[in-house]
Amino acid sequence: MGMKSSHSARFAWVLSATMILLLASSAAAAVESTSTPDEGVAGADDPSRIARWNALREAVFGKREVAEGSAVIQMEVPARALDAALMPLGLTLKGGNTIKGVYLFIDNNPSPLAGRFLFGPAADPSTLKMRVRINEYTLVHAVAETRDGKLYGTHKFVKAAGGCSAPAGTNEADALKEMGRMKLRLLGEFEPGKPMQALLQIRHPNFNGMQMNQITRMFTPARFIRTVDVSYNGEQVLHVESDISMSEDPAITFGFVPREKGRLEVQAVDSTDARFVHIFDVPAPAAPSAASTDAAPDSPVAEPKDFWLGPVNGPVPATLSGGTVIRAHDLAALLKERSAVVVDVSNSQQRPEKLAPQAVWMPPPHPVIPGSLWIAGAGAGVIDPHTEKLYRQRLAEATKNDLDHPVVVYCHERCWLSWNAAKRAIRYGYRKVYWFPDGIEGWRAAGFGTETLTAAASPS
């Protein structure tokens, strides 16, 4: 996605420039504030608010004019924000495909540029909704950018406070456990070529790094969704760059134009580079139940003769020669009935090399089907000798050298690693190899429990 990378670089620069500028301006404000001690109740038209917006606008748009834009962009916020940590905000855009994107500013949040939204060719840029945090009484600005480079702005004054320093949820452990789950709700009927809307929900705590632990005097490290990319049948719908001003469990409503039945693919990346990918069928599959979190059934992919050497994530075959494909409920029944060796071959999260040395690296606990062995690397297309030896050894130990002992291999949905590792186990001579292609996501979606392993439990 070329669109994404070029914009990301620019966006990052803009953000940091904004930060520096705001640090400077807030220091100035502190000096002035002796005459106006209660800045929190300054009205919508207070000069300090206008000055802050002017500074912000200049930091992001430079000398470009932001025209009064109510003919192009309108904003809807609740008359009174009921929950400062979760304020619904809606934008209505008039201008169709001439609209390239939208900038959202929550002026008085510590990180005021709350999000940037870029519409792709498959978008219907008429509606955008999101949920935001409001730290104190503030103006909220939305600026639409047209494809010919014009800017149109609108704003609202919001009375709410505490949304950043008082997170809505206190169940942090639970939030981390479920991180990366997604739901998509299609709003309206599917009709080819007709614009429709979708509500995308992403389970993520969006820790904003602003809560100080009073005992350690340390801030809970920030961890938040940084980008979200949505495409339909491979065509870009929406690219979002966001940060800590988005609420816990970010939820975005957007419009798109499905020319035919297909799939909406969502990829979210958080500030630790953790990547969450989900694919949703459009129209939604007939049986709803828990299926909204399942990956779409894959189109038929032929089994390769040998190990798969292509991209790890993508459509996988429906079969595995010499083995049995198993689904969640059958697997649960199998595990209940008799002992089987269950092997998770998903990758462990490695500390990114570019991470600053002082940055906290703390991958979330790794959820597995209870009792699983975690053997990262066993599903590589080309396996290194050390890992191969380890994989053979651990299978031999766990099965007590019984080639008729059931072996179940899985990783994630739409992931070739488990297919490769299961095939490998068959080649080692195991006669009852089960491949569970729905992965840990499918296991959970079916309502079964997991246990967690830490990275230390994974062989390096």
For other proteins, give the closer residue by CB, 253 or 420: 253
Select from 144-152, 207-215, 307-315, 390-398 the region that touches other proteins (CB under 8 A). 207-215
Select from 182-190, 276-284, 378-386, 443-451 the region that touches other proteins (CB under 8 A). 182-190
For other proteins, give the closer residue by CB, 221 or 371: 221
Tell me the CA end-to-end span of the chain in Å, nearest whole number. Answer: 32
Q: In the structure encoding, which two tokens stand for residue 373, read together? A: 């062995």
Residues 6+ positions from 445 with CB-CB distance below 8 Å: 290, 291, 293, 294, 328, 438
Whose tokens are 């459009």? That residue is 282
Residue 206's identity, in one-letter code, is: N
Select from 84-92, 149-157, 279-287, 388-396 the region that touches other proteins (CB under 8 A). 84-92
What residues from 231 to 250 belong to the interface with other proteins (CB under 8 A)? 249
Please report whether residue 178 would count as binding other proteins according to CB under 8 A.
Answer: yes
Rg (alpha carbons) of the chain, rounded to whole number: 25
Which one among 64, 94, 159, 181 touches other proteins, defined by CB under 8 A?
181
Please report whether residue 209 would count as binding other proteins according to CB under 8 A.
Answer: no
What residues from 128 to 157 belong to the interface with other proteins (CB under 8 A)? 129, 131
Residues 6+ positions from 341 with CB-CB distance below 8 Å: 373, 395, 398, 399, 405, 406, 407, 408
Please report whether residue 212 would count as binding other proteins according to CB under 8 A.
Answer: yes
Half-sphere exposure at residue 384, Cβ-oriented, CA atoms within 13 angstroms:
5
Minimum CB separation of residue 392 from other proteins in Å reads: 41
For other proteins, give the closer residue by CB, 4 or 185: 185
Select from 160-168, 312-320, 365-373, 394-402 the region that touches other proteins (CB under 8 A). 160-168
Please report whether residue 176 would count as binding other proteins according to CB under 8 A.
Answer: no
Apex CA 332: angle with CA 280 and CA 328, to 5°?
A: 15
Select from 213-221, 357-365, 371-379, 450-458 the region that touches other proteins (CB under 8 A). 213-221
- In 3D, which of 290, 313, 325, 289 has the Cα closest to residue 181? 290
Please report whether residue 88 would count as binding other proteins according to CB under 8 A.
Answer: yes
Which one among 1, 23, 50, 187 touches other proteins, defined by CB under 8 A?
187
Cα–Cα distances in angstroms (integers) from residue 200 to residues 85, 229, 291, in the given order = 18, 11, 15
Q: What is the β-pairing status of strands 123-132 and 87-93? A: antiparallel
Residues 6+ positions from 451 with CB-CB distance below 8 Å: 367, 368, 370, 371, 372
Torsion sign across C-alpha atoms 437, 205, 236, 97:
positive
Minimum CB separation of residue 160 from other proteins in Å reads: 11
For other proteins, give the closer residue by CB, 60 or 75: 75
- In 3D, which of 97, 238, 263, 261 has the Cα closest to residue 191? 261
Please report whether residue 159 would count as binding other proteins according to CB under 8 A.
Answer: no
**Number of residues this chain uses to bind other proteins (CB under 8 A):** 36
Which stretches of the chain bind other proteins, using CB under 8 A? 40, 78, 80, 82-83, 86, 88, 90, 129, 131, 161-162, 165-168, 170-172, 178, 181, 183, 185, 187, 199, 201, 203, 211-215, 220, 249, 251, 253
